[in-house]
Amino acid sequence: MTPRPYDVLFERALTRVEPERIHHAAFRAIRAAAPVTSRAVRLPSAPVQALGLTFPHPLGLAAGFDKNAVGIDGLAALGFGHVEIGTVTGEAQPGNPQPRLFRLKDDRAIVNRMGFNNDGSEVVARRLAGWRSRLSSTNGKAPVLGVNIGKTKVVPEEEAAGDYEKSAGLLAPYADYLVVNVSSPNTPGLRDLQAVEKLEPILSAVRRRADEARPDHRVPLLVKIAPDLSDDDVLAVADLALAIGLDGIIATNTTISRDGLASPAATVEGIGAGGLSGQPLTQRSEDVVRLLRGRVGPDLTLVGVGGITTVDDARRRIAAGADLLQGYTAFVYEGPLWPRRIVRGLAGA
């Protein structure tokens, strides 16, 4: 099979550049090309009704690519039907020391320990206000916008609810849906907040503050969970979601597991700590979606993310119970044409 042009570019050029540096360069190119790509991309209509919203098709971009809401239009122009920005924290923070982003090419995977580097909720809220205003003045069409919020690193656990609440109040006015992220492995203690007794007050505080920020409109609220939760803990989150009227669950975030990797053990060990994303998550993420759907029934929205690379992967995740899909790592390895390949494949086009 003749290699695709992007595969050649990726192998011969992009992989020779430090991953975080090439990410920023590629993102600048995506933003610059938005006026052209928005006219060039024509995708089949496959609307999905979820969260009380109409999504043009199931596939969106997961949080982590556009942390600061600087390239929503460019990403939508590539074919993503929804874009989830963030993770945004209550206060601005630089994230963890570099290097903090690594490729495992043999596994089509990425390890990151970014640490929620972002401009903070106040700056991102102002940026989103400007973006919404520009769209309104030009009659521009926006993708469905998700806003993913997390805990500021220096905020102690006992003050976590207030930190999430601050972000919700600032960002809810501009979000089509909100996501509470308690599942990144790169903020110390964050994953402990997935325990239902700690999660419930956070979700309740975010719900209350979002309703205060938008009294005329209920912004859907979801929680994003880790693939490393035990099945019993997954079911406990599902039960909590039903009990407090959550709108959906995103399954799953990155994993701390390194089991079954094809990459040399020395390479993996040399990279060190961080969340692993990409193809190694495919089966566990699919299993978590299936487990959740069996527990929550047909009405709660489930977003499947983790190891979706091919059209078959996408179909299996939907068959497991996902209403919507998200990707990130496959976008890196497969290139800018990947979103439209998945969307057209799902539509049989």
Query: Which residues are marked as active site?
Result: 184
- Who contacts 207 (Cβ-Cβ below 8 Å, separation ≥6)? 221, 244, 245
- Who contacts 159 (Cβ-Cβ below 8 Å, separation ≥6)? none
Residue that has been written with the tokens 């495919």 in this structure: 282
- Who contacts 292 (Cβ-Cβ below 8 Å, separation ≥6)? 234, 238, 249, 251, 300, 302, 321
Contact 245, 219 (CB under 8 A): no
Cα 127 from Cα 171, distance rounded (Å): 10
Cα 73 from Cα 77, distance rounded (Å): 6
Please name which of 114, 109, 113, 112 lies closest in space to residue 333, comparing C-alpha atoms. 109
